[in-house]
Amino acid sequence: MSQFAKPTGFFGKILAKGMARGHKEFYKNALKVINPKKDDEYLEIGFGSGIFIKKYMSHVSKIAGIDYSEDMVKLASDINRKLVDSGKAEFKQGYASSLPWADNKFTVVAAIEVFFFLNETEKTLKEIFRVLKPGGRLVIEMGFNKDDGVDHKRYIKKMG
């Protein structure tokens, strides 16, 4: 398993922090779409280091996240310690295809630069829509750009 898909250990932590810096523009784009509000309950799929949550989402009502890497759960919990200790944030290790939250729980679900690592994209999307409140906002940021020379239609079809 790649360190990108499941960052672990010392190098995984370095990689996760580097990816957070490298994905800064993706986070900014997602933030514009999310337009967070005080009463939002926010779920991030594949939160990595949790830096995006600390920088941009700390003022929402509730924060939750799921990541495949136990090391990322620990890192994000440490980076967001005040939010975790106050009960405002929770980070869990697990699969996006089996979310451990109740139906209609979140007003916002975000998956930033993680969908290409998921094995069960259809099942994951069903789970996301299960936990997303009616009228909620879903943001999937994949870094696609129509001018980057990649055949995105083929890529998206391959992903399911």
Q: Are 112 and 28 in contact (CB under 8 A)?
A: no
> Which residues make Cβ contacts (< 8 Å) with residue 64, sequence separation at least 6?
41, 42, 43, 44, 89, 90, 91, 92, 101, 106
Question: Cα 66–84–134 angle (5° rounding)?
Answer: 50
119-153 pLDDT, tens per residue?
A: 888 999 999 999 999 999 999 887 655 555 555 45
13-54 pLDDT, tens per residue?
A: 555 555 555 556 777 778 888 899 999 999 999 998 898 888
pTM above 0.75, yes or no: yes
pLDDT of 57 over the 60 cut: yes
Q: Per this entry, what is the length of the chain?
A: 160
Half-sphere exposure of 80 (CA within 13 A, CB side): 31
Q: Which domains does the chain have, with CATH numbers?
A: 9-159 (3.40.50.150)
84-99 pLDDT, tens per residue?
A: 999 999 999 999 999 9
